[in-house]
């Protein structure tokens, strides 16, 4: 039996595929490559030394979804596919609702039809909005600040309602904090199309000389040095969290876990750590705050440690290390 990995050519999905194959799982990958390249599939196969079926196509197309479930022996789904850029979601909200919701609903319907009920969903710390208390626990108040966040909250609600209607579902919702880093081979990384929105890909492009300097969005937040603090987590630790969640998928229910390290670093601390690790200078300027940003965001990851036996292990230095190929 195989795990269907949607969005498996993407940043987090590709690292998770490598992890799943290393643990001996069979996988099937589907991706329309809207934000990734087919070479990622080749690299996953090369790194793992294992083969699997890849479907290039759009999960909004129910015919394709049915075809995959008819052809493959799938018993679980890890659903990464979706759009993820906050700013773009504000500019084009309907596109976000359409892509993120319809892909999820199509997959759930195909699973339901075949009595497949193991589902892991990529949620985000964005569902906590501006948290009232830190570190953030899974039972914190949920609020979306933008259409992207709304899609995550809506899907979480759909999954909770689904379980309420049929107690055989085994649903895990993983709320990622800020994934950074890449595979040690340098083959898999966060390579967003266009100018990056997220801090780490931006720093890397400055390092590569593609961009002139980092714009640090605000230095007057109530934080250690005035710049925003986030819980950066190595993408391989994150991938490991999925494998842990999968191996604990025994009890039906809706199981929700933060995947973070529990430690927050400021923008300036991240830039300094990057400079030290890669022995370079990253020019930056202080720019106005970015609309919608919050001062502090970091997880209480203890539930995942207790229930999944999972804990992020990689250091900030490992997260910052850039490998060129």
**H-helix or E-strand spanning residue 321:** none
C-alpha span between 319 and 271 (Å, rounded): 12
CA distance 246 to 51: 20
Number of alpha helices (DSSP H) and beta strands (DSSP E) in the chain: 11, 14
Note whether 232 and 178 are within 8 A (CB).
yes
Which helix H or strand E contains 74, and what residues bound it? strand 74-79
Task: Check 148, 176, 265, 298 and give the catalytic one.
Answer: 148
Neighbour count for residue 147 (Cβ, 10 Å)? 21
Of 153 and 216, the one with the shorter C-beta distance to ligand WQD is 216
| Residue choice 118, 124, 223, 261 for contact with ligand NAD (CB under 6 A) | 124
34's contact among ligand NAD, ligand WQD, none, with CB below 5 to 8 A by partner kind, is ligand NAD
Q: How far is the CB of 126 from ligand WQD (least distance, A)?
A: 3
- Is 269 one of the binding residues for ligand WQD (CB under 6 A)? no
Least separation in angstroms between residue 15's CB and ligand NAD is 8
Residue 189 neighbours by CB under 8 Å, 6+ apart: 11, 182, 183
Residue 12 interacts, among ligand NAD, ligand WQD, none and using kind-specific CB cut-offs from 5 to 8 Å, with: ligand NAD
- Residue 230 interface partner, choices ligand WQD, ligand NAD, none, CB cut-off 5-8 Å depending on type: ligand WQD
Shortest Å, Cβ 243 to ligand NAD:
16
Q: Which of 19, 76, 99, 118 binds ligand NAD (CB under 6 A)?
A: 99
Kindly state whether residue 124 participates in binding ligand WQD, applying the rule CB under 6 A: yes
> Could you say which of ligand NAD, ligand WQD, none residue 144 binds, taking C-beta under 5 to 8 angstroms by partner kind?
none
DSSP 118: E
Cβ atoms of 175 and 257 within 8 Å: the answer is yes
Dist CA 277 CA 136 (whole Å):
29
- By CB under 6 A, the count of residues binding ligand NAD is 25
Residue of minimal CB distance from ligand WQD? Answer: 228
51 exposure class (CB count in 10 Å sphere: 0-12, 13-18, 19+):
exposed
Among 4, 5, 12, 243, binds ligand NAD (CB under 6 A): 12
The DSSP secondary-structure symbol of 126 reads G
Say whether 148 is catalytic: yes
Q: Which of residues 15-54 bind ligand NAD (CB under 6 A)?
A: 31-36
Q: In this structure, are residues 166 and 220 in contact, taking their beta carbons and an 8 Å threshold?
A: no
Q: What does the binding site for ligand NAD look like in residue numbers (CB under 6 A)?
A: 7, 9-13, 31-36, 58-60, 80-82, 84, 99, 103, 122, 124, 176, 179
User: Would you name the residues annotated as active-site residues?
Assistant: 148
């Amino acid at each position: 039996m195989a795990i269907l990995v949607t969005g498996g050519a993407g940043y987090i999905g590709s690292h998770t595929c490598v992890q799943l194959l290393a643990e001996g799982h069979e996988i099937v990958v589907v991706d329309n490559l809207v934000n990734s390249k087919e070479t990622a599939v080749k690299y996953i196969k090369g790194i793992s030394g294992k083969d699997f079926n890849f479907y290039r196509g759009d999960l909004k197309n129910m015919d394709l979804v049915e075809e995959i479930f008819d052809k493959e022996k799938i018993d679980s789904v890890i659903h990464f596919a979706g759009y993820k850029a906050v700013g773009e979601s504000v500019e084009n909200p309907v596109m976000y609702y359409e892509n993120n919701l319809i892909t999820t609903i199509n997959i759930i319907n195909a699973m339901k039809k075949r009595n497949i009920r193991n589902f892991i969903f990529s949620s985000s710390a964005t569902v906590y909005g501006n948290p009232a208390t830190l570190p953030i626990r899974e039972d914190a108040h949920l609020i979306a600040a933008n259409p992207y966040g709304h899609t995550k909250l809506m899907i979480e609600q759909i999954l909770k309602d689904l379980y309420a209607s049929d107690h055989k579902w085994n649903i895990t919702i993983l709320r990622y904090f800020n994934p950074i880093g890449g595979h040690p081979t340098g083959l898999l990384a966060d390579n967003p199309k266009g100018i990056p929105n997220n801090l780490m890909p931006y720093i890397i492009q400055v390092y590569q000389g593609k961009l002139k300097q980092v714009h640090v969005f605000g230095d007057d937040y109530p934080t250690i040095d005035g710049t925003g603090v986030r819980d950066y987590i190595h993408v391989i630790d994150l991938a490991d969290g999925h494998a842990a969640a999968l191996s604990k998928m025994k009890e039906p229910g809706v199981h929700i876990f933060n995947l973070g390290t529990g430690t927050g670093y400021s923008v300036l601390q991240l830039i300094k750590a990057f400079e030290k690790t890669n022995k370079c200078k990253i020019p930056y300027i202080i720019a106005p705050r970015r609309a919608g940003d919050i001062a502090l965001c970091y997880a209480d990851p203890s539930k995942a440690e207790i229930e999944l036996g999972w804990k992020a292990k990689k250091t900030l230095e490992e997260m910052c290390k850039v490998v060129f190929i």
